[in-house]
Amino acid sequence: MSENQQRKYFGTDGVRGRVGETPITAEFMLKLGWAAGRVLAREGRGKVLIGKDTRISGYMFESALQAGLSSAGVDIRLLGPMPTPAIAYLTRTLHAQAGIVISASHNPYHDNGIKFFSAQGEKLPDEVELAIEAELDKPMHTVDSSLLGKAERVSDAAGRYIEFCKSTIPSSMDLRGLKLVVDCAHGATYHTAPYVFEELGADVIKLGVQPNGLNINEGCGSTHPQVLQAAVLEHQADLGIALDGDGDRVIMVDHKGDVVDGDELLFIIARSRHEMGALNGAVVGTQMSNLGLEHALRTLRVELKRAAVGDRYVMDMLRQGGWTIGGESSGHIICLDRTTTGDGVVSALQVLAAIMKSGRSLHELKSDMSKYPQCLVNVRTERKFDFAASSEVRDALREVESQLADKGRVLLRASGTEPLIRVMIEGSDARQVESLAHHLAGAVRQAYEKQRAAQ
């Protein structure tokens, strides 16, 4: 039985779903807090940190988790709204047994989720997650009143994280003379990210810093960079920085208003490390990483290794290879030589460090990587569809690969989070790429309809 088959609640990135629908309910969170507390209490009294993003449901789940942990005899430290990477950092530096993040990242406000960090600020080991799941199946009971966990609020959490972010670039570097627009997506970085850049000397124009519990990621942040693009041009800024709701992703905009995505940011950071002699081996991307990234790194004699889509798989490959730099096109970039998880603010600072060191603009630095035209088409399915078993899909795939020859690539995969088959084609000719993507997607759709009609 595979690891995922054994799991009832934990996915590849914790527990996530729509608020009010199992398991994203107050009742489940109470039991989850208790179950986690039971497992962690085996390690000794210790303490567990709880942080959240700015979704309105965070209040409810914070209280439920706190009650559950307390009933299991575990002490709690409440961080309030804090970026996911900040919770990982504080779990390490406050010597907690674990950190709990209440967030659904870049999703809308009506979703939420729970993610755990270990005492090392990394994903919980699989055996601990499985032990928590085992406790969830047991009846809940409360320890003696003399053993109940106590809760305290960490009043200086934001300040600690701001100082940590600043420490990830040379202390001699300052950003005086730079005008930046920073979009915090009305999310967890609203009271930290702008101050990191301001304290380093930059002139900062703030966007997305008025969370109301309902507007997180709404038409702003890394998933909707159009507002940032317009603001950079309006204010004649040097560049813009867009974070997502929990602060682990970053997308940037150059002074011309052009988006600089995760692949391009990854290249800029990797090349800067390479020039300093500090790039340890390969760079890790995913199956979705642009072919242009692979070719640009090749000119530096640096290899791009491709993991499965998802930051968890990027992290796994980095750990296995002993490498330090990796990321996704979405802007989830991991710099293991600076921190233990993906961090949008830290990643942005590494790009700014490359700009200051080279004396070149963001636009100039990204121009050294030529992206290949890429077309992604999603085919929605109502149920699981084994496209690889379809002769029609295999024939269409062979035809597309034949036409692309060695000037492009095809990725055909099922989404891990939605009932979709994703068709991605990349090549040197934009019109051909789009045509072939829709052709292959049509073959997938036709095969799916044929299978459904036969059932």
Domains of the chain with bracketed CATH: 3-156 (3.40.120.10), 177-259 (3.40.120.10), 261-371 (3.40.120.10), 374-454 (3.30.310.50)
Q: How confident is the model at residue 2 (pLDDT cuts 50, 70, 90)?
A: very low
Q: How confident is the model at residue 95 (pLDDT cuts 50, 70, 90)?
A: very high
Alpha-carbon distance 437 to 434, whole Å?
Answer: 5
Give per-residue pLDDT as tens, 27-36: 999 999 999 9
Alpha-carbon distance 426 to 434, whole Å?
Answer: 9
Q: What is the pLDDT of residue 348?
A: 98
Mean local confidence (pLDDT), 132-157: 96
> Quick check: 41 pLDDT over 90?
no
Alpha-carbon distance 427 to 405, whole Å?
Answer: 10
Query: Which amino acid, residue 323?
Result: W
- Give residue 99's Cα distance to chain centre: 17
> Quick check: 272 pLDDT over 80?
yes
Lowest mean per-residue pLDDT among 57-66, 360-369, 403-412: 403-412
Give per-residue pLDDT as tens, 168-183: 999 999 999 999 999 9
Q: What is the pLDDT of residue 4?
A: 45
Cβ-contact 188, 103 below 8 angstroms: yes
Q: What is the pLDDT of residue 192?
A: 98
Give per-residue pLDDT as tens, 404-436: 988 899 999 887 667 889 999 999 999 999 999
Q: What is the pLDDT of residue 3?
A: 42
Assigned token pair, 136: 């969830």
> Quick check: 48 pLDDT over 60?
yes
Give per-residue pLDDT as tens, 311-357: 889 999 999 999 999 999 999 999 999 999 999 999 999 999 999 99
Q: How confident is the model at residue 51 (pLDDT cuts 50, 70, 90)?
A: very high
Q: What is the pLDDT of residue 1?
A: 37
* Mean of all residue pLDDT scores within the chain: 94
Q: What is the pLDDT of residue 7?
A: 76
Alpha-carbon distance 290 to 371, whole Å?
Answer: 6
Tell me the whole-structure pTM to 2 decimals.
0.92
Alpha-carbon distance 114 to 68, whole Å?
Answer: 14
Which are the catalytic amino acids? 105
Q: Which long-range contacts (CB under 8 A, 24 or more apart) does 56-64 make?
A: 56/109, 56/213, 56/214, 57/19, 57/24, 57/109, 57/112, 58/102, 58/103, 58/112, 60/26, 60/29, 61/26, 61/29, 61/102, 61/112, 61/114, 62/102, 63/26, 64/26, 64/27, 64/29, 64/30, 64/33
Q: Give the angle subtended at the CA of 173 by the CAs of 171 and 177, to the nearest 5°.
A: 145
Q: How confident is the model at residue 44 (pLDDT cuts 50, 70, 90)?
A: low
> Quick check: 207 pLDDT over 70?
yes
Assigned token pair, 221: 């942040």
Q: What is the pLDDT of residue 45?
A: 65
> Quick check: 455 pLDDT over 90?
no
> Quick check: 88 pLDDT over 70?
yes
CB count within 10 Å of CB 321 equals: 15
Mean local confidence (pLDDT), 158-177: 97
Cβ-contact 127, 3 below 8 angstroms: no
